[in-house]
């Protein structure tokens, strides 16, 4: 780690005020990790601008000083994307203004630090909500959601973050402020919004984001179906999708998850002897909705469901969801650390993959709890463990590696909504060809030719052409912020 540069600290303080620049080790510790357990990376400076102009001034200052930086929202990311080692951490959580709401066109312009559910709360009076709903939605920020292209249970029907961003203004790493997309008409040129959303902080910093708001559904029906085998639950998932019914959410939890939830304060009344439960939500137009509910119930029974419970009121609905939304918290009770993994497989491969995950976890003697977005094949195999125990940590990492390789082997992806960050870097070579990774590097170089924004994340540096031409990235790598896959 490089020593903080005192002139840089002074210059940053002159922009944002002394209180908003942290450089003492004791203060920086609070920013040494994100939602990925087992890693502690300490930035050398953390700076927290409070306005858009301050963000631009800070980024320009960092450009002038040729210093790498890592943008950070709420720090809830699960792939280590917000970890900053020996570089500047740029915190954006003070930019909390909802700039404008256009209820007629169902659009809102927000600053990056606006918390996901705060936006929904502010637009409830118009009968609208912001659809992407990651589990961390009560604390995570829209800026972070944009960086990671975050998902959530309701993305099955409503789409991920990218499907809800129509335009944005960003400051590029060199300090240039630019806008992409079109909030008031068609997007005619290249899809720069599509490039920026999900770029994990490597393409610059969003200053404002124009998002779509979803009309609140007229009616909602929530069901819990319980199964004596994962296989029959997976068959029910396929049958529902094949029927042309697009649920708002279609979530699966396996036996270890059910038991963890039921043993916790978040107990939702899930049957503890079930091998799997499906939490199914249908929403939208009231007309005919109950016919779809009846169809889903029938499809679940045909697939082998022991029972299907339809929530009778909002209280029951909230309770059924609580178990799902707090499943990670419930697992946290069991073990000091929890890896919340993320991978995607073709839906038809779910039964076989879940069976193999079970075999892998037995082989490595680790506790895997599966709670995931079954409707789109987005797995979350979670492993509770003690990161202080080197033997257990090694077994957990080996099991995770095999699970990821399994998902790649069946034609899946290494991440559906958490991003690559640091955690998944090592798998990028297995998922993509070297020419494809080089093309990704090329795209990054358009936005950040010096590779100073979130250096060393997303694409392994060794796969970039002309890699020697980027001294700042090389320096960052030498400092340990970049961990190219071996």
Partner 1 sequence: MNTTEIVALTREARVKREPLRIRGAGTWLTGGQPVGANGSLSLADDQGIVDYVPGDLTLTARAGTRLSEIAAATHAHGQWLPLDPWGGDDGTLGATLATATAGPHAHATGLPRDVVLGVEFVTGTGQVVRAGGRVVKNVAGFDLTRLVVGSWGTLGVITEATVRLRALPEEARTIAVAVDSERSALNALARRLRALPFVPMAAELLSGRLASQLGLGGVCMLVVQVAGNARSVRAQLALLRDFGDARDVNADIWSRIRTVESASSAAWRWSRIASEFGNVWAAAEAAVAGIETALVHGSPMRGVARVVVPFADTIDVGRLARAASAFDGTIAIENLPRPAWRLVQHRPAADPLSRAIRAKFDPDAILNPGILGAQ
* In the complex, least distance from residue 178 CB atom to partner 1, rounded to whole angstroms: 7
CA distance 73 to 175: 19
* In the complex, least distance from residue 132 CB atom to partner 1, rounded to whole angstroms: 12
* In the complex, least distance from residue 96 CB atom to partner 1, rounded to whole angstroms: 25
Backbone angles phi, psi at 415, to 5 degrees: -160, 135
Kindly report the three-state secondary structure assignment for every residue of 155-181. Answer: HHHHCCHHHHEEEEEEECCCCCEEEEE
Question: How buried is residue 122: exposed, middle or buried, by Cβ count under 10 Å (0-12/13-18/19+)?
Answer: middle
* In the complex, least distance from residue 480 CB atom to partner 1, rounded to whole angstroms: 22
Nearer to partner 1, 145 or 382 (CB): 145
Distances 141 to 69, 182, 209, 266, 466 between C-alpha atoms, Å: 19, 22, 11, 24, 35
* In the complex, least distance from residue 244 CB atom to partner 1, rounded to whole angstroms: 3
* In the complex, least distance from residue 290 CB atom to partner 1, rounded to whole angstroms: 8
- For the record, the structure tokens of 283 come out as 């929403």
* In the complex, least distance from residue 288 CB atom to partner 1, rounded to whole angstroms: 3
- For the record, the structure tokens of 47 come out as 């700076």
Nearer to partner 1, 243 or 365 (CB): 243
Nearer to partner 1, 296 or 368 (CB): 296
In three-state secondary structure terms, 458 is coil
Nearer to partner 1, 319 or 465 (CB): 465
Distances 67 to 61, 80, 379 between C-alpha atoms, Å: 9, 20, 37
Question: How buried is residue 125: exposed, middle or buried, by Cβ count under 10 Å (0-12/13-18/19+)?
Answer: exposed
* In the complex, least distance from residue 32 CB atom to partner 1, rounded to whole angstroms: 25
Nearer to partner 1, 217 or 269 (CB): 217
Nearer to partner 1, 119 or 374 (CB): 374
- For the record, the structure tokens of 112 come out as 């990056």
Nearer to partner 1, 8 or 440 (CB): 440
Nearer to partner 1, 201 or 384 (CB): 201
In three-state secondary structure terms, 447 is helix
Nearer to partner 1, 2 or 105 (CB): 105
Question: How buried is residue 429: exposed, middle or buried, by Cβ count under 10 Å (0-12/13-18/19+)?
Answer: middle
Q: How far apart are the first and last CA of the chain?
A: 21
* β pairing state of 98-102 and 177-181: unpaired
Nearer to partner 1, 32 or 145 (CB): 145
* In the complex, least distance from residue 331 CB atom to partner 1, rounded to whole angstroms: 22
CA distance 304 to 253: 16
CA distance 372 to 21: 39
Nearer to partner 1, 20 or 154 (CB): 154
| Residue length of the chain | 486
* In the complex, least distance from residue 456 CB atom to partner 1, rounded to whole angstroms: 14
Question: How buried is residue 244: exposed, middle or buried, by Cβ count under 10 Å (0-12/13-18/19+)?
Answer: exposed
* In the complex, least distance from residue 341 CB atom to partner 1, rounded to whole angstroms: 14
- Tokens 């700042």, residue located: 472
Distances 368 to 301, 329, 356, 385 between C-alpha atoms, Å: 27, 15, 12, 10
């Amino acid at each position: 780690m490089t020593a903080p540069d005192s002139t840089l600290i002074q210059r940053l303080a002159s922009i944002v005020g002394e209180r908003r620049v942290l450089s003492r080790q004791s203060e920086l510790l609070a920013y040494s990790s994100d939602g990925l357990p087992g890693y502690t990376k300490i930035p050398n400076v953390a700076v927290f601008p409070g306005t858009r102009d301050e963000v631009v001034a800070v980024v320009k200052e960092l450009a002038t000083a040729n210093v790498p930086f890592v943008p950070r929202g709420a720090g809830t990311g699960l792939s280590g994307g917000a970890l900053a080692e020996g570089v500047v951490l740029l915190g954006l959580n003070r930019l909390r203004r909802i700039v404008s709401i256009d209820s007629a066109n169902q659009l809102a312009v927000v600053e990056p630090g606006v918390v996901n559910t705060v936006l929904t709360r502010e637009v409830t009076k118009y009968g609208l909500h912001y659809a992407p709903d990651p589990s961390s939605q009560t604390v995570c920020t829209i800026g972070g959601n944009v960086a990671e292209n975050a998902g959530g249970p309701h993305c099955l029907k409503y789409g991920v973050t990218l499907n809800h961003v129509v335009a944005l203004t960003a400051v590029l790493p060199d300090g240039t402020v630019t806008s992409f997309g079109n909030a008031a008409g068609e997007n005619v040129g290249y899809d720069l919004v599509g490039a920026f959303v999900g770029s994990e902080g490597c393409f610059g910093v969003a200053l404002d984001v124009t998002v779509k708001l979803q009309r609140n559904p007229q009616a909602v029906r929530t069901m819990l179906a319980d199964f004596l085998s994962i296989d029959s639950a997976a068959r029910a998932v396929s049958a529902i999708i094949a029927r042309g019914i697009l649920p708002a959410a279609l979530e699966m939890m396996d036996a270890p998850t059910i038991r963890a939830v039921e043993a916790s304060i978040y107990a939702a009344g899930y049957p503890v002897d079930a091998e799997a439960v499906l939490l199914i939500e249908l929403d939208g137009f009231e007309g005919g909705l109950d016919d779809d509910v009846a169809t889903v119930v029938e499809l679940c029974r045909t697939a082998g469901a022991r029972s299907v419970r339809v929530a009778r009121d909002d209280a029951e609905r909230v309770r059924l969801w609580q178990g799902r939304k707090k499943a990670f918290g419930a697992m946290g009770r069991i073990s000091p650390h929890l890896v919340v993994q993320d991978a995607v497989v073709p839906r038809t491969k779910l039964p076989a993959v879940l069976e193999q995950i079970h075999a892998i976890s037995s082989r490595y003697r680790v506790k895997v709890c599966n709670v995931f977005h079954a409707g789109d094949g987005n797995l979350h195999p979670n492993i509770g463990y003690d990161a202080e125990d080197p033997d257990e940590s090694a077994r957990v990492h080996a099991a995770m590696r095999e699970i990821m390789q399994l998902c790649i082997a069946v034609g899946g992806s290494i991440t559906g909504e958490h991003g690559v960050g640091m955690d998944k870097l090592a798998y990028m070579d297995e998922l993509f060809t070297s020419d494809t990774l080089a093309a990704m590097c090329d795209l990054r170089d358009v936005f950040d030719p010096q590779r100073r924004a979130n250096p060393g994340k997303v694409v392994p540096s060794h796969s970039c052409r002309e890699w020697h031409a980027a001294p700042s990235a090389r320096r960052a790598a030498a400092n340990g912020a970049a961990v190219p896959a071996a």
